[in-house]
């Protein structure tokens, strides 16, 4: 069974303690929403999880293997992959070539025919197969988000971290991303979903982790978390961020 065990992760930038001892555990194909006001430390935590930033302390184990000392490519090989808040398509490669990259980076001797088949199947699922020969730079923001999800599928890690997958996405593509998430999760993968769009978080996630000032202040089912006084205070205390943090939608969330 997939396990991700995060223990007491700490990270300081200068005098700013950005992560203050973050701990949580994922067992199996969970779909966990990671939320928190702007600046709470979500992206920093993600960067620590994928090996891009080394923590000052704490331990991360993926499937009982310690991954916090590893480089990002080693973390990816170990089974943790992520997308980025600001999407990074390879602009000078075609859409199809973009998909080859993770497969060949993981295994230079991968069977090209199988890689090609998989890439084409993924493009069809993401409804961008007609773009297969377009360059990355020609895609819209939403199409680039889909391509990034496709690249992650080519890697096919055990734990997927999706950082703001809906940001800047045209409403017509949202359904495709929802389906993508549900399919991947249905295939037994664990997903950590970071989003300021509370409606999406409440629709998709069965568990929410709330970060505030580098601490996990709540961890549980959305209905419970939403009524947690500390969570309400965290969002209320961040008035300038109200539009982004979704306090209003937290109250109005569809499954609330």
Residues that bind ligand ATP (CB under 6 A): 13, 16, 18, 36, 38-44
C-beta of residue 139 within 8 angstroms of C-beta of residue 95: yes
The smaller minimum CB distance to ligand ATP, of residues 18 and 139, is found at 18
Q: Which helix (H) or strand (E) holds 252?
A: helix 247-252
Helices H, strands E: what count in the chain? 11, 10
How buried is 64 (Cβ within 10 angstroms: 0-12 exposed, 13-18 middle, 19+ buried)? exposed
Q: How far is the CB of 9 from ligand ATP (least distance, A)?
A: 12
The minimum distance between CB 222 and ligand ATP, in angstroms, equals: 18
Q: Which is nearer to ligand ATP, 14 or 64 (CB)?
A: 14
Residue closer to ligand ATP (CB basis): 176 or 200: 200
Question: Smallest gap, in angstroms, from Cβ of residue 39 to ligand ATP?
Answer: 4
Q: Which is nearer to ligand ATP, 44 or 249 (CB)?
A: 44
Query: Which C-beta is closer to ligand ATP: that of 69 or that of 244?
Result: 244
Q: State in angstroms the smallest separation of the CB of 225 from ligand ATP.
A: 16
Q: How far is the CB of 42 from ligand ATP (least distance, A)?
A: 4
- Show the 3-state SS of 149-206: HHHHHHHCCCEEEEECCCCCCCHHHHHHHHHHHHHHHHCCCEEEEECCCHHHHHHHCC
DSSP H stretches of helix in 50-161: 72-78, 95-106, 112-125, 141-155
């Amino acid at each position: 069974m997939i396990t991700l065990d995060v223990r007491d992760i700490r990270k300081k930038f200068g005098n700013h303690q950005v992560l203050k001892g973050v701990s949580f555990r994922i067992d199996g194909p969970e779909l966990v929403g990671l939320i928190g006001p702007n600046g709470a430390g979500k992206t920093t935590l993600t960067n620590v999880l994928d090996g891009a930033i080394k923590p000052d302390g704490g331990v991360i184990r993926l499937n009982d293997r310690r991954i916090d000392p590893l480089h990002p490519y080693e973390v990816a090989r170990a089974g943790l992959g992520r997308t980025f808040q600001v999407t990074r398509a390879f602009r000078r490669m075609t859409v199809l070539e973009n998909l080859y990259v993770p497969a060949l980076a993981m295994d230079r001797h991968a069977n090209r025919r199988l890689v090609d088949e998989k890439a084409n199947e993924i493009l069809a699922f993401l409804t961008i197969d007609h773009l297969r020969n377009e360059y990355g730079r020609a895609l819209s923001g939403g199409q680039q988000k889909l391509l990034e999800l496709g690249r992650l599928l080519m890697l096919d890690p055990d734990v997927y971290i999706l950082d703001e997958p809906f940001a800047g996405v045209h409403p017509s593509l949202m359904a495709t991303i929802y389906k993508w998430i549900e399919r991947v999760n249905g295939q037994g993968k664990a997903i950590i979903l970071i989003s300021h769009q509370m409606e999406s978080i409440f629709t998709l996630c069965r568990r929410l982790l709330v970060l505030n000032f580098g601490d996990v202040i709540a961890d549980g089912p959305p209905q419970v978390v939403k009524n947690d006084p500390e969570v309400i205070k965290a969002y209320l205390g961040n008035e300038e961020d109200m539009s982004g943090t979704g306090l209003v939608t937290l109250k109005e969330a569809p499954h609330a």
